Amino acid sequence: MREVIVAGVLIAVLSGCAGGGGEQVTGTTGARQETTTGQETATGQETTAGVEAGVLKGRVVDAEGRPIAGAEIVADNQFLHNSNLVVMTDADGRYRVSTNVATATFQVSGTVTRRFEGRVYTMQLTPHDDTSFAGPTGAIRDFTWRLTGERPDGLGFYGSLVLFNMDVWDLPNPDEYLREEDVTLTLTPQGPLIDGSAGEVITRRAERTADGPGLTDIPIGRYRITAESLGRPLRIRLRDTGEYAEAVDTVFEKFLTTSHRIELDLKP
């Protein structure tokens, strides 16, 4: 469990989502949120001209530039153990916290948590600048909430995984051979994605991942999923659940804190 020094007391609440489709799962702090006054770009993001000594501040927006309220920003003190700073963004997506500690260098990260389809999802934010900074110097660190795309730290994608297991034990033709790389999955959105945006139909050939065959970097939403192998329809079900059918209608399940998966079984 991570131990942190929080600016005030965090109180978990549920409220309507600002700039997103899922319900916002957020918190408030005892410290007053202040509006930053630095210069801004046309997209509303702070520029380095507004850096204040001893202050970390910034803004979180979605892919359309809309503010994200209730995002959690963590300033990790790389010198002192158990001395992280945690602050939540305000209604305009802004945050501000004092970092005026002489023996501290901070690395900043952020997450956004949303309730969607009766489940809670926590997703990593995309940093505009992920370099560390000295506490007394201060810094501006802005973030964007993206549902897909490669992470700048090289640790995979912002989207989620769809994995499958191929059941070939009872093939009608004993000489038949099905290859995982010949499988094509089609995911049809059943309503808006978790950020409220309209999803698109995804049809892709399976690839090998470190966790098994499937698709990577899929935005969180509810999907109707079908599968085929070289034009031949396959039967499908959720992993070890129920009977096989022509399609499944499902959402992602939490695997790790910020990792989510759909796991399937396929058979001829």
Q: Name the β-bridge partners of 209.
A: 212
Average pLDDT, the chain: 84
DSSP per-residue string spanning the chain: ----EESS--EEEEE--SSSSSEEEEEE-SSPP----S-B-TTS-B-GGG--TTEEEEEEEETTS-B-TT-EEEEEESSSTT--EEEE--TTSEEEEE---TT-EEEEEEEEEEEETTEEEEEEPEES----EETTT-EE--EEE-SSSB-TTSS-BSSEEEEEEE--TT-SSTT----GGGEEEEEEESS--TTSPPP--EEEE-EEETTEEEEEEEPSS-EEEEEEETTEEEEEEETT-S--BS-EEE--EEEETTEEEEEEEEE-
| Phi, psi angle pair for 78, to nearest 5° | -80, -5
| Predicted confidence (pLDDT) at residue 234 exceeds the cutoff of 60 | yes
Q: What does pTM read for this prediction?
A: 0.80
Instruction: Give 135-180 pLDDT, tens digit per residue.
Output: 999 999 999 999 999 998 888 899 999 999 988 655 555 545 678 8
Q: How far is CA 26 from its chain centroid? A: 15
Residue 253's pLDDT is 97
Confidence of residue 8 (pLDDT cuts 50, 70, 90): very low
Mean predicted confidence (pLDDT) in 5-22 = 43
Residue of 151, 156, 159 lying closest to 126 (CA atoms): 151
Which is more confident, 169 or 108?
A: 108
Which phi-psi region, left, alpha or beta, contains residue 82 (left: φ > 0; alpha: ψ -120 to 50)? left
* Cβ atoms within 10 Å, residue 151: 15
Residue 7's pLDDT is 39
Lowest mean pLDDT among 11-20, 77-86, 129-138: 11-20
Q: How far is CA 182 from its chain centroid? A: 29
Mean predicted confidence (pLDDT) in 95-104 = 89
| Predicted confidence (pLDDT) at residue 193 exceeds the cutoff of 70 | yes
Q: Which residues contact 232 (CB under 8 A, 6 or more apart)?
A: 268
Mean predicted confidence (pLDDT) in 231-259 = 95
Mean predicted confidence (pLDDT) in 176-203 = 92
| Predicted confidence (pLDDT) at residue 5 exceeds the cutoff of 50 | no
